[in-house]
Chains A and B, each alone.
Chain A
């Protein structure tokens, strides 16, 4: 029988985590399908479970001195409903595109991050937001997202740790957007996607641009060359700046959803569409 822990205190949860090899579960929208997939081909085994959903206080979105803190139990739906500045429009757009309403009502943004799928819709948004992750464990720490994501479905989270919150720094005057491409209208894994945060000065010139592309490499990528090229450009003309060279760092693959060449081309288009949408 699979042991199931559902502590009411973070300390208890950490103690369980420290003592044994358990699978953390939040909304379960990644945990259950993965288990079903293994079971279908003859592996019904599952790790013991640590359910963190009855720990109070982790489902809040709070404004802090330097930005916003998004608790690890904040679901896509809760984020979508929250009163947040335009900086979050991209993440909110993603919140409406992840799965269907049922999945949005249960799935968490943090769970999406920790699954670290190349096609996770939250990840490029969080990269563009320059989110930091707040980790509880034997050695509590804050890690920038770029360092946290270490590879294909891999993160720097230790088996003894729990990710308690995301921290999104303030960026005045910034807006964000998200565009997703899939082979059907709803309930679809992204073939490619682009997220971006853009802050413009009073004259409409880009002061800071942060752009990220997902599903086109093992880990979603920021595009520093493009970001540099956009600095000082009038936001209306930003879409025209995007060139294939800016995507050199991507390494898309051929899979059941699309070809690598297509993904590269699509990423370029999505970035242009995204910037047009932000103009």
Chain B
């Protein structure tokens, strides 16, 4: 027995002495507020206090807790309580998976130093990674011990109010349930055996003997898949097996599923399993896959080309120009690095299956799981847990089909928790891209033509490859008026990790190329970089390369105008500094972006239901999954004002396929816009019904007290409805599908109902001797249509910027080499600079209260703005990201001869 003091109470545990303390807390002592993101000290999600000092619980042998005082997020402690309130008020918790660790790290600091400065806070929390917030709001929260919280708005005042996220309290208390936090007590454990080879054949020996020998309940192969052993995003492209059938196409592909008691499953050495491998040559990168004579990886993809995308308008080759720029650019695989690895459980039901797991797309999970099980979709129920970050990486199924197959095979609940490495090695990435682009302008700097040929490495399976290939041609020429455009893209199969959806679907990669060419043209023409962008900025009434007229909500000119004083100030600061500086040089960069909200030319409806019960409860049945971005709060704010009852009156049923309608997936910056609009319609629908019942006019006000609804008209008259006396609950139903049209062969049509626009300026400091880059400041201006919740909108922008910074400077996933958060670097609290945000609100008539999407756009301009700033500081035109110090140093050396 190991005994220690846990949050002031004496506890004893018979946990194994070598078991990490994090595991003992979670699995033995039931305190799941301490999170596990890596089991290797890299993420800090498991931070607890040991005798008052912060430690990673995943690195502490339980034996070493003997006699110690352990404090976790569950502690009742005044300082922790203050931090919880501050985190809520500042929007410092988005998905919330890092929050317990952050709060414990901050608590450690505040006991040592009650009035720290910002750098001290950064250092104190530097061992905890956050992928959502960009850290600045966390630093603010720690600095601001007595926060000033926005009060809950009254009826009609929800939209525009910076209220704290409605699902925030459990996140800061450590009681939110993420994928790994709960499972039925009788659940067996699943462990997936994965290919160590990128390309190989394999044969299996006597698995039954192995199963008996290892004390497992089951060893599952593709033969155990009751339905179709295939999944994938595209309806016609279910190309990825749940369990491989004698052939693997990437390192990390699932081969066997081991099911049994936890200890038995975890003790298995892969080497003890009867698998005979025959490694084959592997195709790494698109060049290898496109080479003549390269083996064909899928029967349906001759030449390994999965899909081609194109867009043509005008004649990009014939256009007249005074200046021409071209270049080749390369980007790397980028890992989502959500701090919560995939986790959840499956529970068999009569004829079907319930899956409780973290996800971004419950209805898609349901469809995929049903196919794999060979049952009707209705037989599968998906119950999303809290989701510790997604960013596109939890759109594809990962654990769901495996859990379903396993739970079916053993007819018991089965749970799984991916390790960090497993998550990184087996789930999707941002597509690496090779981009060749050309751009031309006339003597006044007006863009005349743009052409792009881009190859995206989609890895071993299709996933969202077609989406990337189709979205990029629409967006590649940037948010500018360009009369002649010719874009061609390919998604190419390789033996690399599958690439899928990641905040921006290929647009961030394309923007790196395009914005560099814009800078080239400005340089050739002697124009200021802000000026050339402003001259070409697309705006109201302009026509996009796909032939769409922007009738409304096109606020890029306003974004650029908001940045003009910032830009001028940055330029003067750079000039003043660089006259005397030789080694540490400053540079300023600017970049723009646009981003279509919702799926490209595809129906993507959402449906919402709001019910005013006879008992006086008001419930929003919201199928949109909040992965930290705030949709639960924003959609409720919209519905509240559409209905006319206060936000505080709402209760929620969230994202359970048995209880909520399909609100689509949380991707493509669509939840505020599409699901928000559905919630608006639902709220209005309920309001209409109430007004009809009360025989009241449009402008009547509503108030709810208990089961009595008061409907008052302007004149002061009104009536009260006794809800309990009604024959049934009152229900509002709302559906919305953004109006789009198909794209023709030349990519012409209306691919999106609306677009987000943004511009960012970056100031960097480059050590020209070491090639290191420090981003000093980012200023963003973003047209969000309407900021339904400014705190959450700004949170999205900060988070996008942090990811854009990582993309530009440090992130590079290399299969087999950077499969952990030690070698794969994401920004820490010390890497994200102060950020200023200008919100531009050019209302979108289609959007709820004028709102449109914000989730992805902020990431897009960051990397190009930083690259532009590096170029300004050094003269090096960067063509490959990430700009690791050695790459910049090599480029500087070439320049210096």
Contacts and interface: CB of A to CB of B under 8 A. Distances in A.
Interface of A: 1-2, 4, 6, 25, 27-29, 32-33, 36-37, 39-46, 49, 51, 53-54, 77, 96, 99-103, 105-106, 181, 183-189, 191, 256-259, 261-263, 265-266, 269
Given A32-B20, A256-B817, A44 B54 contact: no
Contacts of B420: 36, 40
A214 B770 CA distance: 16
Nearest to A186: B126
Interface of B: 16-18, 20, 38-42, 44, 47, 50, 53-56, 58-61, 63-64, 66, 105, 108, 122-124, 126-129, 193-194, 196, 266-271, 419-422, 425, 769-772, 809-810, 812, 814, 817-820, 822-823, 825, 827-831, 884-886, 889-890, 893
B828 A184 contact: yes
Contacts of B38: 36
Contact of A181 (B40, B56, B885): B885
A18 B510 CA distance: 62
A40 B63 contact: no
- Which of A28, A29, A100 lies at the interface centre, i.e. has the most chain B CB atoms within 10 A of its CB? A100
B40 A37 contact: yes
A105 B770 CA distance: 30
A105 B109 CA distance: 13
Nearest to B20: A32
Contact of B64 (A51, A77, A105, A188): A51
Nearest to B889: A262
3 closest Cβ pairs, A-B complex: A100-B127, A42-B270, A185-B830
Contacts of A105: 50, 53-55
Nearest to B127: A100
B123 A37 contact: no
- Which of B16, B38, B126, B269 lies at the interface centre, i.e. has the most chain A CB atoms within 10 A of its CB? B126
Given A100-B126, A258-B886, A269-B769, A27 B59 contact: yes
A186 B123 contact: yes
A99 B41 contact: yes
Contacts of B194: 41-42
B56 A2 contact: no
A102 to B, nearest CB: 5
B553 to A, nearest CB: 37
- Which of B47, B64, B268, B820 lies at the interface centre, i.e. has the most chain A CB atoms within 10 A of its CB? B64
A28 B46 CA distance: 15
Contacts of B16: 1-2, 4
A121 to B, nearest CB: 14
A42 B193 contact: yes
Nearest to A96: B123
B828 A183 contact: no
A106 B60 contact: yes
B889 A101 contact: no
Contacts of A99: 41, 127
B778 to A, nearest CB: 15
Given A33-B41, A105-B55, 17 more contacts: A2-B18, A4-B18, A6-B17, A6-B66, A32-B58, A51-B61, A100-B44, A101-B54, A101-B127, A105-B54, A106-B59, A183-B809, A184-B810, A186-B122, A256-B818, A258-B885, A266-B770
Contact of B819 (A1, A40, A42, A100): A40
24 contacts: A4-B61, A6-B66, A28-B60, A28-B61, A28-B64, A32-B39, A37-B820, A40-B420, A40-B819, A42-B269, A51-B63, A101-B127, A105-B50, A105-B55, A181-B885, A184-B809, A184-B827, A186-B829, A187-B129, A191-B885, A191-B886, A258-B886, A262-B885, A262-B886
Contacts of A42: 193-194, 196, 268-271
Contact of B128 (A100, A184, A261, A269): A100
A187 B884 CA distance: 16
Nearest to B424: A40
Given A188-B825, A262-B886, A29 B59 contact: yes
B270 A43 contact: yes
Contacts of A265: 889, 893
Contacts of A54: 66
A29 B61 CA distance: 10
A101 B17 contact: no
A187 B127 contact: yes
A44 B268 contact: yes
Contact of A102 (B44, B266, B772): B44
A28 B63 CA distance: 12
Contacts of B419: 36, 39-40
Contacts of B63: 4, 6, 51
A101 B810 contact: no
B271 A106 contact: no
A101 B770 contact: no
A258 B884 contact: yes
Given A1-B16, A37-B820, A102 B828 contact: no
A225 to B, nearest CB: 22
B267 A102 contact: no
A43 B769 CA distance: 43
B54 A102 contact: yes
Contacts of A261: 886, 890
A111 to B, nearest CB: 11
B822 A183 contact: no
B629 to A, nearest CB: 25
Contact of B55 (A102, A257, A266): A102
Nearest to A103: B41
B127 A102 contact: yes
B64 A53 contact: yes
Contacts of B58: 32, 36
Given A36-B38, A101-B108, A28 B59 contact: yes
Nearest to A269: B769
Contacts of B828: 100, 184-188
Nearest to A41: B196
A49 B63 CA distance: 11
Contacts of A257: 884
